[in-house]
């Protein structure tokens, strides 16, 4: 009797302990699960970089020379527009850009002026990562790469059958960016002539990006832009085009001054420089461009 009674008491205590543990798990688990979800949410939020839609307008000062048709230098001031998606913070920067420039280039020789209408389309992808060893509180260094593909479409009526010219130049760059923090950390009283005003806190920086061509390629006609397909009634403009890889030379750079506004948007003033030459000696294509542009960056997150 006594043994049976003790056994019943032990079973009752055992079942109560199991029930208590079960209730505790039910009460604690949602808190743990919610805490885990909240922590993951915070981590994801911290990993998200500020993103911007960049709309740019500018004016270029440009010149080119195409030995496949003429050794003369053509120069012009084409208009420049671009659209970019930018993600950036101190640790990483990503940019996808599509740009378009158009204008008339001229050359004068023996008192005769020749004109070439040029349209340039460029697609660009840039990826940079912070160099912690070289970065400081006010100085940020990033290194990475850039891929650019540029299409030049030219029309010069003075060349008659060779009036149309199309070149595709693609380059894989090694890239370095240095950014200096010029932010105003505290409000300050300023004076302009006799007008006093209060300068508020302002986030702003100055950055310089250098891109050096590592793998250069071009897709173009080796000599003049007359296709041999025309006389045999096969209209194939690219019939005599050739793809050349690991030939040529290209460098470009960007100097950007950026002011971040209090509404998550930003304004940027930039100077861009780009110069390249395709492979070959007697038939290469050369172009250099200086561009001044103003950008409006609309904050996406």
Give the CATH number for residue 108.
Answer: 2.40.128.90
Q: How far apart are CA 50 and CA 88, in angstroms?
A: 6
At 120, the pLDDT band (50, 70, 90 cuts) reads very high
Q: How far apart are CA 153 and CA 168, in angstroms?
A: 9
Q: Would you state the pLDDT for residue 20?
A: 45
Q: Is the dihedral of CA 260, 263, 269, 272 positive or negative?
A: positive
Q: Does 9 share its domain with 53?
A: no
Q: How far apart are CA 275 and CA 301, in angstroms?
A: 35
| For the ranges 72-86, 108-122, 153-167, the one whose mean pLDDT is highest | 72-86
Structure tokens at 62: 């440009």
Q: Is the dihedral of CA 245, 246, 248, 251 positive or negative?
A: positive
Q: Average the pLDDT over 280-285 and give the result.
A: 82
Q: Does 155 share its domain with 111?
A: yes
Q: What percent of the chain has pLDDT over 90?
A: 55
Q: What percent of the chain has pLDDT over 70?
A: 76
Q: Does 35 share its domain with 72?
A: no
Q: Does 220 share its domain with 111?
A: yes
Q: Give backbone dihedrals phi and psi of 201, rounded to 5 degrees, phi first.
A: -60, 140
* More confident call, 199 vs 69: 69
**pLDDT surpasses 60 at 33:** no
Q: Does 153 share its domain with 189?
A: yes
Domain that holds residue 26: 1-47
**pLDDT surpasses 70 at 270:** yes
Q: Would you state the pLDDT for residue 279?
A: 85
Q: Does 129 share its domain with 276?
A: yes
At 29, the pLDDT band (50, 70, 90 cuts) reads very low
At 273, the pLDDT band (50, 70, 90 cuts) reads very high
Q: Average the pLDDT over 44-65 and give the result.
A: 86
**pLDDT surpasses 50 at 5:** no
Q: Does 259 share its domain with 118?
A: yes
Q: Does 213 share its domain with 107?
A: yes
Helices (H) and strands (E) in the chain, counts: 1, 14
Q: Give backbone dihedrals phi and psi of 296, rounded to 5 degrees, phi first.
A: -110, 120
Q: Would you state the pLDDT for residue 110?
A: 84
b/e per residue, 139-165, with b = 16+ CB within 10 A? ebbbebebebebbbebebeebeebbeb
Quote the mean pLDDT of the chain.
82
- Residue identified by tokens 């911007």 is 52
Q: How far apart are CA 187 and CA 189, in angstroms?
A: 7
Q: Is the dihedral of CA 137, 139, 142, 148 positive or negative?
A: positive
**pLDDT surpasses 70 at 22:** no
Whether the Cβ atoms of residue 222 and residue 186 lie closer than 8 Å to each other: no
Q: Does 9 share its domain with 87?
A: no
Structure tokens at 120: 């340039």
Q: Does 180 share its domain with 226?
A: yes
């Amino acid at each position: 009797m006594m043994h049976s009674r003790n056994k019943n008491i032990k079973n009752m205590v055992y079942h109560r302990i199991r029930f208590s543990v079960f209730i505790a798990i039910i009460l604690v688990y949602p808190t743990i699960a919610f805490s885990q979800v909240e922590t993951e949410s915070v981590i994801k939020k911290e990993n998200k970089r500020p993103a911007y839609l960049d709309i740019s307008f500018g004016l270029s000062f440009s010149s080119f020379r195409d030995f496949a048709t003429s050794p003369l230098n053509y120069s012009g001031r084409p208009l420049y527009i671009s659209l970019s998606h930018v993600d950036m913070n101190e640790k990483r920067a990503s940019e996808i850009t599509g740009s378009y420039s158009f204008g008339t280039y001229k050359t004068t020789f023996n008192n005769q002026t020749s004109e070439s209408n040029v349209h340039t389309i460029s697609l660009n992808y840039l990826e940079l990562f912070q160099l912690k060893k070289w970065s400081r509180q006010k100085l940020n260094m990033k290194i990475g790469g850039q891929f650019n593909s540029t299409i030049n479409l030219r029309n010069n009526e003075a060349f008659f059958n060779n009036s149309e010219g199309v070149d595709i130049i693609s380059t894989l760059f090694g890239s370095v960016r240095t950014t200096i923090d010029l932010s105003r950390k505290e409000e300050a009283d300023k004076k302009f002539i006799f007008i006093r005003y209060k300068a508020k806190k302002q986030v702003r920086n100055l950055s310089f990006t250098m891109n050096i061509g590592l793998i250069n390629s071009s897709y173009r006609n080796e000599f003049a832009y007359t296709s041999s397909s025309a006389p045999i009634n096969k209209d194939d403009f690219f019939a005599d085009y050739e793809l050349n890889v690991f030939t040529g030379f290209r460098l470009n750079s960007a100097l950007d001054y950026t002011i971040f506004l209090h509404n998550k948007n930003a304004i940027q003033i930039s100077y861009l420089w780009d110069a390249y030459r395709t492979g070959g000696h007697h038939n290469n294509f050369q172009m250099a461009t200086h561009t001044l542009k103003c950008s409006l960056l609309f904050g996406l997150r």
